[in-house]
Structure 1
Amino acid sequence: MSVRNECGLYTMCIVQDKDKVLLINRPDKLGFPGYLGPGGKVDFPESMTEGAVRELREETGLIVKPEDLIFKGIDEYIIPKTNYRYMVFNYLVKEYKGELLSNPPEGELLWVNINDALELPMQPWFKRRLPLFFEKGTFEISVVWDEDSKSSIEDKLRLLG
């Protein structure tokens, strides 16, 4: 017998400009406080790249073409208790147009030197993921999450290609 499960689809798009990366400093009130990359939920019936392009424009004001996105990997969080799988499709982009929003909806936008970025306050899951955007190939992160103990049961990182 097959168990029905739900899946949430999300994107993250890291913008790189030479030796700098664009991050959002999210306030506590929005959840996931600290510095992280632009992204969010993929709206039905968008493709993953269409969702990444839209989220990047909405959160930063920058405009990119889907064909300029570089696929970097997937990370997923599986919650057996609720049969829910949260999947994030991760992209890197180096070509963009437009100007940054003066009043961004998700928090302050900041260009940061890539080598200094990990010194900023950020969620542990993002601190783990950020360096993978700048490595050769793609990555897969798979975390099985215990909702009761708020901890991982299983945690795998695979570097591919």
Structure 2
Amino acid sequence: MRLPYTICFIQQHHEILLIHRRKQPNQGKWNGVGGKIEAGESPLAACIREVREETGLRLRQPEFRGVVTFNGESGMYVFTAERWSGDVVASAEGELDWKPLLWILTSPEATSTLPYFLPEALGSNPPVEHAFTFTRAGEEYGDVVDYEMKPLRPEWAVYDRPISGI
């Protein structure tokens, strides 16, 4: 299974910077900042680049917090960050806003998977896999029908080296 994406949750004063996505997947929903890993790029490098492109922030020491997988087909590397430089600048990807964790976990405007994995990702436990099974609606994933937290596969724990086959 390939994990071609990254997502990052940037924290400040008990709030998290989210993006209101203008594109699929999750168009019209609030989610963490991230995107596609480019050829020859490590998940960590992709996280840093995507955050800079979408927010204007330069991350310092993002922390790897695990992976999220979708229907056993695809997935993303999850990072958190509490240190950065620069000012938040909007991009074409979507509106940015700082949201309290309670809002993220309870709002229908947030991506439906966040209540399942975000508290764990923000915690201090070792990184894990958050495995989701969704209904399918054409090319898009639908509703969550199953969720399981699993031990992290060793190959996914190497998040700071380029991934082949992306």
1:157 and 2:149 aligned? yes
Q: Residues 140 and 109 from structure 1, CA distance in 2 versus in 1: closer, same or farther, beyond 3 angstroms? A: same
Report the Cα distance in structure 2 between the residues aligned to 1:86 and 1:156, rounded to whole angstroms: 15
The Cα of 1:90 is off from its aligned counterpart by: 0.2
Q: Residues 95 and 31 from structure 1, CA distance in 2 versus in 1: closer, same or farther, beyond 3 angstroms? A: same
Look up the match of 2:15: 20
Look up the match of 1:110: 97
Report the Cα distance in structure 2 between the residues aligned to 1:152 and 1:25, rounded to whole angstroms: 20
Gaps of 5+ in 1: 1-5, 80-84
Look up the match of 2:68: 75
The Cα of 1:131 is off from its aligned counterpart by: 1.8
Please identify the structure whose Cα radius of gyration is greater.
1
Report the Cα distance in structure 1 between the residues aligned to 2:16 and 2:144, rounded to whole angstroms: 29
TM-score, scaled to structure 1: 0.77
Report the Cα distance in structure 2 between the residues aligned to 1:74 and 1:31, rounded to whole angstroms: 17
Report the Cα distance in structure 1 between the residues aligned to 2:144 and 2:116, rounded to whole angstroms: 14
Identical pairs, percent: 25
The Cα of 1:111 is off from its aligned counterpart by: 1.0
1:45 and 2:40 aligned? yes
Q: Residues 131 and 44 from structure 1, CA distance in 2 versus in 1: closer, same or farther, beyond 3 angstroms? A: same
The Cα of 1:144 is off from its aligned counterpart by: 4.6
Look up the match of 1:142: 131
Q: Residues 124 and 95 from structure 1, CA distance in 2 versus in 1: closer, same or farther, beyond 3 angstroms? A: same
TM-score, scaled to structure 2: 0.75
Report the Cα distance in structure 2 between the residues aligned to 1:25 and 1:130, rounded to whole angstroms: 17
The Cα of 1:30 is off from its aligned counterpart by: 4.3
Report the Cα distance in structure 1 between the residues aligned to 2:137 and 2:104, rounded to whole angstroms: 32
Q: Is the contact between residue 113 and residue 144 of structure 2 (CA under 8 Å) also seen in structure 1? A: no
Look up the match of 2:84: 96
